[in-house]
Amino acid sequence: MSWLQIKTLIHPEQAEALETWLLEAGACAITLTDAEDNPVFEPIRGTTPLWQLTQLTGLYDGTMDIDRLQQALAADWAERFADQPQPQLHVEILEDKDWIREWMDSFHPLQMGSRLWVVPSWRTAPQPEAVNLILDPGLAFGTGTHPTTALCLQWLDGLDLRNKSLLDFGCGSGILGIAGLLLGADQAWGIDIDPQALQASHSNAERNQIDLTRFPVYFPEQAPQVTCDVLVANILAGPLIDLAPLLAKQVKNGGLMALSGILAHQAEAVSQAYQPWFDLDPIQERDGWIRITGTRRAEQDS
Ligand SMILES: C[S@@+](CC[C@H](N)C(=O)[O-])C[C@H]1O[C@@H](n2cnc3c(N)ncnc32)[C@H](O)[C@@H]1O
């Protein structure tokens, strides 16, 4: 099987928008790195220096029609960012073994808060005594490199999760549910609409020596209506708003929740959707993404 890898340089302010656009257009995975850290393009004389740019690398199934993708991107980009240069996609065909090597090289251990590290399975944990979450990124979203995931991991790291149950809604790679269990929770559940995510969550749980009975995973329509002490949902603003009544029902009175996957301008709409059930904390922001946390009020059960 072959893959198509695209690479482009982009201004950091537009990197997230391009990442979202490419994922919606079927990319299996996207990574963003500082162009200066990992230069694959020669800087062009007279153009923006590399240190001001983000390098985006994306991966598509080898059957993807990249010409049509470029045309669609050009049309949308012209509409949204009329005054900005069009991203130029450099395309390369990769055999399985090549992209795996590229992919592996791009992941490094990351510290999340004070106790937790996310360590790719092929790297050595820098602090063996820390809480080390061993991760095989695979194709499901959730490696810890994305700000939305990092915001949730840092929040979990700061909680006392002993004897707590945790619902990971939109579990992707299972990273948040697994982190919760490693940080002391005694039970977690994962829910996702993507079969690849459910599979990845279980293989990542096994890699971290977590008994799968402590982290069962479900499609939403098959999930039991559990109530949890802690809810994490890193999805997107639209589904989070639609799911507010359902998610509120699944958090115990006095329980905690963290919502992520929300762009700064969407904060107000998502907050409003959860205010009927939760006392909300001040919003946290990272690279244009925000995290909403709160405590389930006891007085309302609806
Ligand atoms: C941004 S990823 C987050 C993955 C992981 N929890 C993390 O924090 O890195 C969002 C995940 O939510 C899933 N998802 C999107 N809409 C959903 C929905 N309505 N119900 C359940 N899962 C959903 C996607 O398939 C994807 O795996």
- Nearest ligand 1 atom to the CA of 170 is 12
CATH code for position 199: 3.40.50.150
Residue 82 and residue 26 share a domain: yes
Mean pLDDT, residues 185-199? 93
What mean pLDDT is reported for the chain?
87
Residues with CB under 6 Å of ligand 1 are 140-142, 148-149, 152, 170-172, 175-176, 191-194, 197, 220, 234-235, 239, 261
pLDDT category at 42 given cuts 50, 70, 90 is very low
Whose tokens are 């669609």? That residue is 72
Residue 188 has pLDDT above 70, yes or no: yes
pLDDT category at 37 given cuts 50, 70, 90 is low
What are the distances in angstroms from CA 275 to CA 42, 156, 239, 268, 298?
A: 50, 21, 16, 10, 13
Q: Residue 111 Cα, ligand 1 centroid: separation in angstroms?
A: 22
Q: What tokens appear for 126 in the block?
A: 């820098």
Mean pLDDT, residues 246-250? 97
Instruction: Please give the Cα distance from 191 to 232 (Å, whole number).
Output: 11
Q: Residue 155 Cα, ligand 1 centroid: separation in angstroms?
A: 18
Q: Is residue 68 part of a domain?
A: yes
Q: Residue 287 Cα, ligand 1 centroid: separation in angstroms?
A: 19
CATH code for position 45: 3.30.70.120
Q: Does 170 carry a binding-site annotation?
A: yes
Show the domain range for 57: 2-104
Residue 66 has pLDDT above 50, yes or no: yes
Q: Does 76 carry a binding-site annotation?
A: no
Indicate if ipTM > 0.90. yes
**pLDDT recorded at residue 97:** 64
Q: Residue 235 Cα, ligand 1 centroid: separation in angstroms?
A: 5
Instruction: Please give the Cα distance from 166 to 177 (Å, whole number).
Output: 7
Q: Residue 142 Cα, ligand 1 centroid: separation in angstroms?
A: 9
Residue 171 and residue 87 share a domain: no
Size of the chain, expressed as the number of residues it contains: 302
Residue 255 burial class via C-beta count within 10 angstroms: exposed 0-12, middle 13-18, buried 19 and up: buried
Residue 247 and residue 178 share a domain: yes
Q: Is residue 136 part of a domain?
A: no
Q: Does 31 carry a binding-site annotation?
A: no
pLDDT category at 45 given cuts 50, 70, 90 is very low
Q: From atom 23 of ligand 1, which residue's Cα is the shortest distance away?
A: 170
Residue 250 and residue 192 share a domain: yes
Instruction: Please give the Cα distance from 66 to 33 (Å, whole number).
Output: 22
Q: From atom 16 of ligand 1, which residue's Cα is the shortest distance away?
A: 235
Residue 169 and residue 87 share a domain: no
Q: Is residue 134 part of a domain?
A: no
Residue 203 has pLDDT above 70, yes or no: yes
- Nearest ligand 1 atom to the CA of 260 is 8
Q: Which of 145, 107, 142, 113 is nearest to 127 (CA)?
A: 113
